[in-house]
């Protein structure tokens, strides 16, 4: 009977250990599930908070913009009333004078811009604008067009072959093969699109 009692005790101990391990596994899973659930709740809270922050921030920006527009409208109205002579407020005189001084500076800078735009380098003739008639327009070359046939070889008669005449210098405008814009003779690139001219 002592052997049977020891065997029963060992079985009870093994079963107790198994139950403890199962309880530990369940405890770990419960902790893990609670941790994931807590993280999900935190993420949901942060996303909702960010959404509310963006919404309220956009509303604040809109209200600030409306306030700036309304303030500008007040300023414009004050300037109009002051110019008409119907508004005489000494406290505004300094501000109005500052605005008028700024307007004068803007006008002076605009005049300076126009003078700079009109400047020309001294001693350079002004190039006349290129006038193109439809008869002068050459069709753009096409990449699929067949090349011009080569001249037939001269018969060998013992005499040196005549030299081909040098091409005559171009007169009149060149035309861009890409966009068809006219350019001055000797120009290497199209002034309109930048394409290399042949």
Most confident listed range (4-8, 74-78, 102-106, 125-129)? 102-106
Query: Phi/psi at 180 (nearest 5 deg)?
Result: 80, 5
* Amino acid 23: pLDDT: 78
Judged against a pLDDT cut of 80, whether residue 152 lies above it is answered with no
pLDDT at 165: 52
Mean pLDDT of the chain: 76
Give residue-wise pLDDT tens across range 116-132: 888 888 876 665 555 55
| 127-160 exposure pattern, b = at least 16 Cβ within 10 A, e = fewer | eeeeeeeeeeeeeeeeeeeeeeeeeeeeeeeeee
Beta bridge partners of 175: 182
Instruction: Locate the DSSP E strands across the chain.
Output: 174-175, 182-183
b/e per residue 95-111 (b: at least 16 CB within 10 A): ebeeeeeeeeeeeeeee
Is the whole model's pTM more than 0.85, yes or no? no
Interaxial angle between packed helices 2-84 and 90-118, expressed in degrees from 0 to 180 and rounded to the nearest 10: 90
């Amino acid at each position: 009977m002592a052997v049977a009692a020891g065997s029963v005790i060992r079985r009870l101990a093994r079963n107790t250990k198994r139950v403890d391990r199962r309880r530990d596994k369940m405890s770990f899973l419960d902790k893990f599930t609670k941790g994931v659930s807590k993280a999900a709740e935190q993420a949901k809270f942060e996303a909702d908070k960010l959404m509310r922050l963006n919404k309220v921030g956009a509303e604040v920006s809109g209200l600030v913009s409306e306030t700036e527009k309304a303030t500008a409208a007040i300023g414009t109205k004050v300037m109009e009333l002051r110019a008409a002579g119907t508004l005489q407020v000494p406290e505004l005189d300094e501000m109005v004078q500052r605005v008028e001084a700024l307007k004068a500076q803007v006008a002076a800078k605009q005049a300076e811009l126009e003078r700079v735009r009109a400047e020309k380098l001294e001693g350079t003739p002004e190039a006349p604008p290129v006038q193109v008639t439809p008869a002068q327009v050459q069709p753009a070359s096409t990449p699929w067009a067949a090349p011009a046939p080569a001249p037939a070889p001269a018969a060998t008669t013992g005499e040196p072959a005549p030299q081909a005449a040098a091409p005559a210098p171009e007169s009149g405008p060149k035309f861009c093969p890409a966009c068809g814009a006219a350019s001055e003779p000797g120009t290497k690139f199209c002034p309109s699109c930048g394409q290399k001219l042949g």
